[in-house]
C-alpha cells in the first residue's frame, strides 16, 4: 500500500499548523487508495543541522538523523503543511528537509500552506527545494488565510472549497507516488 506522510512543518508553541495537519489527516483517512500518517517535527527533536558530511553522501552519524531518515525513507509521498514566516517556510521545516537527501528522491509532494496570503510564498519556496531533492511536486495546493480561515487568527474553520482543493492535492500525490514507485525500486536495486 502506498504510504503518504503528512508533515507538520511548525514546531512553534501554539502553532496553527497542528489543527491544519489534523484536518488533512481526517480528510485523507477517508480514502482507501493509500495509507496516511501524521509526521510531526516535534516528535523528532532535530537540532540545527549537525551532520558533518553533506546529506547527499548518505553517511548519517547522529541517532536523530538516523531516526528521521528511517521515517522519511519508509514513505512514498508527502503532504507538507507549512506556515509562512517572512515570505518563506518555517526554519524548522527547512532544517528537517536539509538533514536528508536520498530519502526524499523520486517521491511526490503536495503542499498545504497557511499565512497572510495563504502560505503561497512558503509553498513556492518549498517547490524550489523539492526540485533539488528530486521530489515531484504536484500542481494542486491548498492555501489557507489566517484572516479568513481562522477565527481570531487561531481557531481553524476550513471551508468546503478547501476540502475540494485538498482532495485534488491528495489525488495527485497518491497518483504520482504510485507512478514513481518503479523508479524508487530501480534506484534501490
Q: What distance in Å separates the CA atoms of residue 176 and residue 37, rounded to the nearest whole number?
A: 18
pLDDT digits (tens, 9 = 90+) for 109-165: 999 999 999 999 999 999 999 999 999 999 999 999 999 999 999 999 999 999 999
- Strands ordered across the beta sheet of 135-145: 35-40, 3-8, 77-83, 107-115, 135-145
Domains in the chain (CATH in brackets) are 3-188 (3.40.50.360)
Whole-model pTM above 0.85? yes
Mean pLDDT across the chain, nearest whole number? 97
pLDDT digits (tens, 9 = 90+) for 84-117: 999 999 999 999 999 999 999 999 999 999 999 9
Amino acid at each position: 500500500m502506498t504510504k503518504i506522510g503528512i508533515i507538520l512543518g511548525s514546531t512553534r508553541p501554539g502553532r496553527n499548523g497542528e489543527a491544519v495537519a489534523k484536518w488533512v489527516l481526517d480528510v485523507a483517512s477517508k480514502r482507501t487508495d493509500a495509507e496516511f500518517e501524521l509526521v510531526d517535527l516535534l516528535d523528532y527533536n532535530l537540532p540545527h543541522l549537525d551532520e558533518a558530511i553533506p546529506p547527499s553522501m548518505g553517511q548519517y552519524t547522529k541517532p536523530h538523523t538516523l531516526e528521521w531518515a528511517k521515517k522519511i525513507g519508509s514513505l512514498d509521498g508527502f503532504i507538507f503543511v507549512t506556515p509562512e514566516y517572512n515570505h518563506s517556510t518555517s526554519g524548522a521545516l527547512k532544517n528537517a528537509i536539509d538533514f536528508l537527501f536520498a530519502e526524499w528522491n523520486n517521491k511526490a509532494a503536495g503542499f498545504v500552506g497557511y499565512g497572510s496570503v495563504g502560505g503561497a510564498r512558503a509553498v513556492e519556496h518549498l517547490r524550489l527545494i523539492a526540485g533539488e531533492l528530486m521530489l515531484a511536486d504536484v500542481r494542486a495546493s491548498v492555501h489557507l488565510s489566517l484572516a479568513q480561515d481562522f477565527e481570531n487568527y487561531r481557531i481553524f474553520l476550513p471551508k468546503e472549497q478547501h476540502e475540494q482543493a485538498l482532495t485534488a492535492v491528495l489525488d495527485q500525490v497518491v497518483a504520482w507516488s504510485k507512478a514513481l514507485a518503479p523508479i524508487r525500486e530501480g534506484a534501490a536495486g
